[in-house]
Amino acid sequence: MSTVKVISNILEANDRIARQNTAMFATAGVYVVNLMSSPGAGKTSLLERTVEALKSKLRMAVIEGDIQSSVDAERIGRHGIQAIQINTGGACHLDGNLIRDAVEELSLRELDLLVVENVGNLVCPAEFKLGEDIKAMILSVTEGDDKPLKYPLMFQESAALLINKVDLLPYVNCSVERIEERALALNPKLRIFRVSCTTGEGLDAWTAWLADQVSGKRPRDRA
Amino acid sequence: MSTVKVISNILEANDRIARQNTAMFATAGVYVVNLMSSPGAGKTSLLERTVEALKSKLRMAVIEGDIQSSVDAERIGRHGIQAIQINTGGACHLDGNLIRDAVEELSLRELDLLVVENVGNLVCPAEFKLGEDIKAMILSVTEGDDKPLKYPLMFQESAALLINKVDLLPYVNCSVERIEERALALNPKLRIFRVSCTTGEGLDAWTAWLADQVSGKRPRDRA
């Protein structure tokens, strides 16, 4: 019982910091996406594709969360935008505090879109708000179509679901229809995109939708 | 700072319970494997294959850990061995306490091998001992060869690494050699198996090795 109490205190403290982050992002007029998935589902590959598609239209930056290493920030940095690496040193998710510190390295007012790539984990990141506008998640078809049944919270919390690696569908036992049906049962408003970050399939719909979300937030004088 | 303190208290309390579990398993002469991986890497598929290969030689049972649902226990139960489902109700890993409770449903002295399938998560399960003899982990080639760099603890803690889905290697950008090199740099004693739970490739070596580990623990009068 005491364990549960401790966890809820941690979550409450985090929610407070996340609300401060939300206010800071609103003042700066920057749209923030918290991108989550299992390890290896394709978060960094999706970001590379998204940056290439949108960097001429939107001023973007990325915050990378990993337990250790700076592999991902280096990959993003090669695309010519600013990438900040957070190393959690063991922790399995980002939290509001880590984001607040990382944001100090950025000129928020000069950004339209900030994407935070969370630690690869289909569980814990869904519980910790960062101050984001939306959560988006990736599920790759190689993970199987039972994942909404087993990890419901992330599907419930996300505004967008990217079903990635659809180019591998011929070789795996996974039904995209079943993923969609199960995900929508948990979250009827979920916006779903079938994509392949290898072939590029389906990514135009995702980047167009994301650009629309961003322009909905931008202050009038900058739109 | 207070967050860190709380987490270390939780881990210490868990270690105490895990040590009691270890003593209980030793008295019963049952060998216990804590099986960990990302969601969808193939834990349940590996268990189905392992049960089929070993159930005529070893008396086996499985404890399934999931946030919710009993999908996995039902899959294992179809193979004619006892399967207990733990629903963590949100928690991202199993702990010693959950195992102690689940074990009450089993007749430990009538078992040779108990496999615990942890919650799909490449981070947190590695921190919480259950009282197991060994940890084993699965990494699927669809997750990419950078995972040892980004999630080192699980590679350091595991006695065996199963590199799964090798049948998909022609379709993904992943080097098995690089996974092995990076994993062995973290843990030179790691025993590595390249397998496909779809085609069955490489599983004989895994099940033979596992059976050897079990027979090394069994009390003399039962060996």
Q: Label residue B7 by pLDDT band (50, 70, 90).
A: low
Interface touch A165/B142, C-beta < 8 Å: yes
A9 has pLDDT over 80 = no
Residues of A in contact with B11 (CB under 8 A): none
For A76-111, letters b (16+ CB in 10 Å) and e give: bbebebbbbbbbbeebbbbbbbbbbebbeebebeeb
Both tokens of A183, joined, read 């995900």
Count of CB atoms situated within 10 Å of the CB of B117: 26
Q: How far is CA A162 from CA A19, A87, A125, B117, in A?
A: 26, 25, 17, 27
Residue A132 in 3-state DSSP?
Answer: coil
* Residue B118, pLDDT score: 97
Q: Could you tell me which residue, B36 or A221, shows the higher pLDDT?
A: B36
Helix (H) or strand (E) segment spanning residue A9: helix A2-28
Strand locations in A59-187, DSSP E? 60-66, 82-87, 113-117, 134-140, 160-164
Average pLDDT, chain B: 93
Closest CB to A150 among B68, B143, B146:
B68
- How does DSSP assign A160-200, residue by residue? EEEEE-GGGGGGS---HHHHHHHHHHH-TT-EEEE--TTT-
Q: Label residue A6 by pLDDT band (50, 70, 90).
A: low
Q: How far is CA A217 from CA A6, A26, A86, A133, B94, in A?
A: 36, 8, 26, 9, 41
- Give dist(CA B86, CA B120) in Å, integer: 13
> Mean per-residue pLDDT for A196-215?
98
- Give dist(CA A49, CA B105) in Å, integer: 50
- Give dist(CA A216, CA B128) in Å, integer: 44
A8 has pLDDT over 50 = yes
* Residue A220, pLDDT score: 46
Q: Label residue B80 by pLDDT band (50, 70, 90).
A: very high
* Residue B28, pLDDT score: 96
Both tokens of B104, joined, read 């009450």
- Contact yes or no for B162/B137 (Cβ under 8 A): yes
Both tokens of B42, joined, read 């193939």
> Mean per-residue pLDDT for B111-140?
97
> Mean per-residue pLDDT for B179-184?
98
* Residue B6, pLDDT score: 56
- Contact yes or no for B112/B62 (Cβ under 8 A): no
The A-side interface with B (CB below 8 A) comprises 3, 6, 10, 38-41, 66-69, 71, 90, 92, 119-124, 127, 140, 142-144, 146-147, 149-153, 165, 167-168, 171-173, 198
B4 has pLDDT over 80 = no
**pTM of this prediction?**
0.90
The B-side interface with A (CB below 8 A) comprises 3, 6, 10, 38-41, 66-69, 71, 90, 92, 119-124, 127, 140, 142-144, 146-147, 149-153, 165, 167-168, 171-173, 198
* Residue B223, pLDDT score: 41
* Residue A223, pLDDT score: 41
Both tokens of B32, joined, read 């216990």
* Residue B218, pLDDT score: 62
- Give dist(CA B82, CA A10) in Å, integer: 37
Size of interface A-B (CB pairs under 8 A): 116
- Contact yes or no for B42/B136 (Cβ under 8 A): no
Chain B nearest C-alpha distance from A29 (Å): 31
The pLDDT tens digits for A88-135 are: 988 899 999 999 999 999 999 999 999 999 999 999 999 999 999 999
Chain B nearest C-alpha distance from A208 (Å): 27
ipTM of the complex: 0.84
* Residue B9, pLDDT score: 72
Residue type at position A110: E
Chain A nearest C-alpha distance from B111 (Å): 28
Both tokens of B11, joined, read 């881990």
Residues of B in contact with A69 (CB under 8 A): 146, 149-150
Work out whether strand A134-140 and strand A160-164 pair parallel, antiparallel, or are unpaired.
parallel
What pairs with residue B87 in β-bridges?
Answer: B66
A56 has pLDDT over 60 = yes
Residue B6 in 3-state DSSP?
Answer: helix
The pLDDT tens digits for A136-180 are: 999 999 999 999 999 999 999 999 999 999 999 999 999 999 999
- Which residues, 6 or more positions from B18, have their beta carbon under 8 angstroms from its beta carbon? B96, B128, B129, B130, B131
Count of CB atoms situated within 10 Å of the CB of A217: 16
Residue type at position A133: D
Ramachandran angles phi, psi of A210, nearest 5°: -65, -45
